[in-house]
Amino acid sequence: MNIPNLLTIFRILLVPVFIIFVIHNDLWMALIIFILAGITDGLDGLIARVLNQRTVVGAYLDPIADKMLLISAYLSLAFKDMLPGWLSVIVVSREIIILSGIAIISLMGKGTDIRPSIASKFTTVFQILTIIITLYPFSILYIQLFITTTAVLTILSGLQYMYRGIKTMGDIK
């Protein structure tokens, strides 16, 4: 067990704390927890690279922690009617499709070294920013702009992952 893996486990433990604050309408604390989780995400990756502490466990735990936080955030904010349910369905569906695709490719023995694309990175940034501006009182115009952009990017990057997954399985040349 090294520092990056401990930070990742800490991020996983922050997920229920975040949800509890959202449920209790303590949005400032939810925002602080969400930002703290984001900081630990950046730190674990930086420390793992700089100190050469990458591990197989960390390679699995880090994306799981990220997905747990995003899925929990979108579901809890939709539950509280702070984000539209349809957006949460899009975000969660994309994550399930990606995880299912990785599992299928892995079971087929094809290797699962699927790197995030530029579209995927932009999607993640907008998904995170949408959560932040939802928790922090911004103008409804900004929130709607981020909701729409996040939905479009999530759909496009989801389709891109599906294409790449099918290509990896060998069904597309």
Q: 89-148, pLDDT tens digit by residue?
A: 999 999 999 888 888 887 887 766 667 788 888 999 999 999 999 999 777 778 999 999
Q: What is the mean pLDDT of residues 150-155?
A: 97
DSSP the chain: --HHHHHHHHHHHHHHHHHHHHHTT-HHHHHHHHHHHHHHHHHHHHHHHHTT---HHHHHHHHHHHHHHHHHHHHHHHHTTSS-HHHHHHHHHHHHHHHHHHHHHHHTTS----PPPHHHHHHHHHHHHHHHHHHTT--HHHHHHHHHHHHHHHHHHHHHHHHHHHHHHTS--
**In whole angstroms, what is the distance from residue 26 CA to residue 10 CA?**
21
Q: What is the reported pLDDT for 45?
A: 85
Domain ranges of the chain: 1-65, 83-173
* pLDDT above 90 as % of the chain: 58
